[in-house]
Chains A and B, each alone.
Chain A
Amino acid sequence: VLNWNRILPATVDAVETFCLSLRRELAGSWRRSDAFAAELVLREVMANAVEHGGRFEPGQTIAVQLTADGARFKARVSDHGQGFEASAVLGVATGERGRGLRILDLYATTHAFEDGGRTVAFELPLRPAESKE
């Protein structure tokens, strides 16, 4: 069971520290591949919030909510930027943003862009811990 609700500075270093904390939290209790997928997708969504929402400006923050109930991992990342029109980006994004969206598509069972693109929510399935690799 995971239930995190954090407000972070919208910086690359804060994202890195947060993701390493999550890795330590999940190590040994989740299947390795589930923990990898959760961290990877979260990194992409948080990096997007820092780059496009925070625009690397000092004082900006992002909000991160994580929950897991043993069968499903749910994440919600919000920023205070100008948002974006998801339909205008999906399928046409290139470079790192295109790869980030591809990773979201690969691993997340569901994802949604809310509040004009300022919030990204996604879910990943979790397999039973007893079948850990």
Chain B
Amino acid sequence: MGTYAPRRDIVVAAVDAIKTEIKQKIAETEGEFVLDLEGVEMVDSKGIGLLISTFATLAEKQRGFRLVGTAPDLLELFRSMRMHQHFAIG
């Protein structure tokens, strides 16, 4: 299993750097990939795009994807954007 915790907001100003870090972590690990959102207060549309593309990348490799440590406001946002239909969010 792979785990990665960005520990900062996943927004347009940071999304390229976080994308690089996720890509590296995916390459180093096998099995389910868990993104730990503890300490993440904001995810904008660019960040949502990164989460969805991460899910798609892992799905191509037959690997699961899951979010943990999601703050209540982000949980509500992700559910409203119907992201829970693609991967588990907790």
Q: Which of A86-107 contact B (CB under 8 A)?
A: 95-97, 99-100, 102-103, 106
Question: A47 near B46 (CB under 8 angstroms)?
Answer: yes
Known A32-B73, A36-B73; contact A99-B13, beta-carbon cutoff 8 A = no
Chain B interface secondary structure, helix, strand, loop or mixed?
helix
A12 within 8 Å of B by Cβ? yes
Question: B12 near A15 (CB under 8 angstroms)?
Answer: yes
| Smallest CB gap from A50: residue in B | B12
We find that the number of chain B residues with CB closer than 8 angstroms to chain A is: 16
Q: How far is the CA of A133 from the CA of B73 in the complex (A)?
A: 11
Question: A33 near B73 (CB under 8 angstroms)?
Answer: yes
Q: Fill in one digit per residue for B49-90: 1 if any A CB lies within 8 Å of its CB, else 0.
A: 100000000000000000000001100110011000000000
Q: Which of B13, B46, B72, B80 contacts A13, CB < 8 Å?
A: B13
CB distance from B22 to the nearest CB of A (A): 17
With a cutoff of 8 Å between Cβ atoms, the chain B residues found around residue A103 in the complex are 44-45, 77, 81
Q: How far is the CA of A133 from the CA of B71 in the complex (A)?
A: 13
Q: Which of A12, A37, A96, A133 contacts B49, CB < 8 Å?
A: A96
With a cutoff of 8 Å between Cβ atoms, the chain A residues found around residue B80 in the complex are 106
A44 within 8 Å of B by Cβ? yes
B42 within 8 Å of A by Cβ? yes
Chain A's interface size range is 20 to 34
Q: How far is the CA of A101 from the CA of B3 in the complex (A)?
A: 31
Interface residues of A (CB under 8 A from B): 12-13, 15-16, 19, 23, 32-33, 36-37, 39-40, 43-44, 47, 95-97, 99-100, 102-103, 106, 133
Interface residues of B (CB under 8 A from A): 11-13, 41-42, 44-46, 48-49, 72-73, 76-77, 80-81
Q: Could you list some 28 contacts between A and B, CB below 8 A?
A: A12-B13, A13-B13, A16-B11, A16-B12, A16-B13, A32-B73, A33-B72, A33-B73, A36-B42, A36-B73, A37-B73, A39-B42, A43-B44, A47-B12, A47-B44, A96-B45, A96-B46, A96-B49, A97-B45, A99-B48, A99-B49, A100-B45, A102-B81, A103-B45, A103-B77, A103-B81, A106-B77, A106-B80
